[in-house]
Amino acid sequence: MTEEFSAILGSSVQSSPALPSLDDDLRKDFKDYLGITTRVDEFLNGRRVNLCRLIAHFTSPSYPRTVIDFRYKKRALVLCLLNRYLFVSPSNVYGHGCLLRVVKHMRNDCSPMPLVLAETLHCLDTLRHNPEAAFCGSPLLLQVWLQERMRLIERPLDPKSYQPHSFAGRQRVVKGEQPLSYWREWMNSGFPIRWTISWWHIPAMTAPRSSIAFYRLPGLTHSSFIFPSRLLRQFGRKQRVPSLDTISPGISPMTHSYLRNWYQYWNARRFWTIQKVPDSTYISNHYKVWMTSHSIEERESARQAERRLQIDAIEVGEGPDLTQTNSKTQDSSRGHKSGGSRSLVWKRKKDQNDPDDQNEARKKSTMANEPKK
């Protein structure tokens, strides 16, 4: 979904991430980047910023009109927009002061989308346990995403030339506000889901590292995670039961060392290229069982059953090798017979861009060139 949120706002998928400040004292940032040199404490309450006070300061008739002051004013505007639309907080007065560092990074074409997605996922987790909780994160981006996926908005007339700003001119299927009962009936009516959206022009999706099934996202206070192998058919790839999806990544508090390590981890990430597979929305019965299961045992059973079905189709020549993928973009797996019983041995193809694979290749090359005793 990082790529999808980026496509909605027209942000590049491969941009470096914009990250927040983790400092408890934000006064220096506000002095250096917004030019607020006096009475800074009137704007800040810990790590929170008084947005009403900030707006009143920069819209005052007595505010200077020099070039540098106009730059400060634009930066304050972006900070308010981030707090109002991408990082919504329960308070109507206070917002996240740490986002001023994000504003600074965005000037260098960095993308806040990993941060936005993490906060939105945190909010959805909270709402699952407490439906009465306030919606944080970005309800606006989530609403646009749902309108596209649930076919609540018509296809664009020219998908090839579609741009993010064209969204406002498209026709809505459901017009006006509807009561909650209407949407409950809509959800139970079996509406068709729009799995692939070609006009978002997403070239690739972020892939996890070879030994895990998820990748991590930074939040304002805690990390989050996502399993991209569960979203394959949304990107035109053949959907299979994911591997290693029962391993919980856990949530980590955001610290300076964690943020530095994550930044290097994110910039070295791999990508799966988007493929236009015919009938990519097809899913097997085993996948349906996996998707509706609530226990690790049931999910593992469905996973093994689908793998055996794929291997049987390959061995008798009745189907393509669904486990074979692009060696540069995705892990692969294959099964073999051992001792008269069928067992699955998961292997992965070497990724030329994987630092671990490069180190291993260098070791083997060194050993091969060493003189034999």
pLDDT tens for the chain, 373 residues long, are 788 999 898 888 778 889 999 988 899 999 999 998 888 888 998 899 999 999 999 999 988 889 998 999 999 999 999 999 999 988 889 999 999 999 999 988 889 999 999 999 999 989 888 988 888 889 999 989 988 988 888 999 898 899 988 898 888 888 778 888 888 888 887 777 888 888 998 888 888 877 778 888 999 999 998 888 888 878 877 778 887 776 778 788 999 999 999 988 888 888 888 776 555 566 778 888 888 887 888 888 888 888 877 665 554 444 433 333 333 333 333 333 333 221 222 233 333 333 334 444 444 444 444 444 3
**Consecutive H or E run containing 207:** strand 204-207
With 0-12 CB in 10 A as exposed, 13-18 as middle and 19+ as buried, what is 214? buried
What is residue 318's predicted lDDT score, i.e. its pLDDT?
42
- On whether the CB atoms of residues 224 and 115 are closer than 8 A, the answer is no
Distance CA 211, CA 25 (A): 39
The structure's pTM equals: 0.76
Which pLDDT score is estimated for 95? Answer: 93
CB atoms within 10 A of CB 232: 19
- Return the number of other C-beta atoms located less than 10 Å from residue 264's C-beta: 8
- In this structure, are residues 69 and 63 in contact, taking their beta carbons and an 8 Å threshold? yes
Please work out, in degrees rounded to the nearest 5, the angle formed at the alpha carbon of residue 19 by the alpha carbons of 14 and 23.
Answer: 165
Report the DSSP beta bridge partners of residue 16.
none
CB count within 10 Å of CB 286 equals 20
pLDDT at 97: 93
Cβ-based neighbour number of residue 301 at 10 Å: 15
Nearest one of 131, 153, 149, 258 to 193, comparing CA atoms: 149
Contacts of 307 (CB under 8 A, 6+ apart): 241, 333, 335, 344
Among residues 337, 322, 249, the alpha carbon closest in space to that of 286 is found at 322
- Contact 154/173 with Cβ under 8 angstroms? yes
Please list, in sequence order, all residues whose beta carbon lies within 8 angstroms of the beta carbon of residue 210, skipping any fewer than 6 positions away.
Answer: 331, 348, 351, 354, 356, 357
With CA atoms as reference, report the closest residue to 259 among 228, 226, 220, 214. Answer: 220
Structure token pair of residue 371: 């003189």
Closest C-alpha among 40, 68, 64 to residue 54: 40
Rounded Cα–Cα distance for residues 197 and 202 (Å) = 9
3-state helix, strand, coil in the chain (%, to 5): 45, 10, 45
Q: What are phi and psi of 44, to 5 degrees?
A: -115, 145
Q: What's the distance, Cα to Cα, between the start and end of the chain in Å? A: 55
The answer to whether residues 37 and 31 touch, using CB atoms and an 8 Å cutoff, is yes
- Separation between Cα atoms, residue 98 and residue 354, nearest integer Å: 33
Q: What is the pLDDT of residue 100?
A: 93
DSSP 241: P
pLDDT at position 310 is 66
User: What confidence score (pLDDT) does residue 287 get?
Assistant: 83
Give backbone dihedrals phi and psi of 336, rounded to 5 degrees, phi first: -150, 165
